[in-house]
Amino acid sequence: MAIKQDITQGKSLGDLGREAFWFLTHTLIAVLVLGLAIGGMSMTHPDPDTTAPKLLGTVLAFLVPMIGGFIIAKAQQNVIARYIWISGLLLFSVVCVWVLDLPTGNGLCEHCGAVEKLTRTFFDISNGSGLMGGDGLLVGTWTPLAMIGYSIGARFGLDEYSE
């Protein structure tokens, strides 16, 4: 099975512009699909202090965009959709730098070091850091996870991989 390689050499400025447009469009679609998943979940009015809704939200933040990416890639056959994971990693990196720059004070993460700040903000569901107003899970975990899930679904939705 021959896999086509996308390289930037020999592409016109218009081709690169279209690829950048589709990259941003697929990134936005991944975020919108995540918004639909969160909106659907919030219709049940879950208790924000319990662990189960946060775990369910984490699973939905991955699976719903993955299904959306599969459907869109199956219909559109745009190979740029499989590279959206890069947006997720970039967003995660930017939010990590932002969290590390936030001051700690009286509260849940008063004497936290750098690693503890990050792990409690993004990955500790039951005992968060309290930084970012409690939105670390949404901004730093679910949104990048949605982009990664979207790109995985898009990869499986492309015909060149279904042979």
Give the C-alpha separation, 117 to 91, whole Å.
Answer: 17
pLDDT at 7 > cutoff 80: no
The pLDDT, as a whole number, for residue 1 is 45
Split at pLDDT 50, 70, 90, the class of 22 is: very high
Q: What percent of the chain has pLDDT over 70?
A: 91
CA neighbor of 77 nearest in space, from 32, 26, 13: 26
DSSP classification of residue 142: I
Q: What percent of the chain has pLDDT over 90?
A: 56
CA atoms within 13 A on the CB side of 98: 15
Reported pTM = 0.87
pLDDT at 82 > cutoff 80: yes
The pLDDT, as a whole number, for residue 51 is 87
Classify residue 66 as exposed, middle or buried by CB count within 10 Å of its CB (0-12, 13-18, 19+).
buried
CA neighbor of 146 nearest in space, from 65, 83, 70, 73: 65
> Mean pLDDT across the stretch 54-59?
92
Q: Is the CB of residue 131 less than 8 Å from the CB of residue 14? A: no
The pLDDT tens digits of the residues spanning 124-155 come to 888 778 788 778 889 999 999 999 999 999 99
**By 3-state DSSP, what share of the chain in percent is helix, strand and coil, each rounded to 5?**
70, 0, 30
> Mean pLDDT across the stretch 114-125?
88
Say how many C-beta atoms besides its own lie within 10 A of residue 135's C-beta.
13
The pLDDT tens digits of the residues spanning 100-109 come to 988 876 767 7
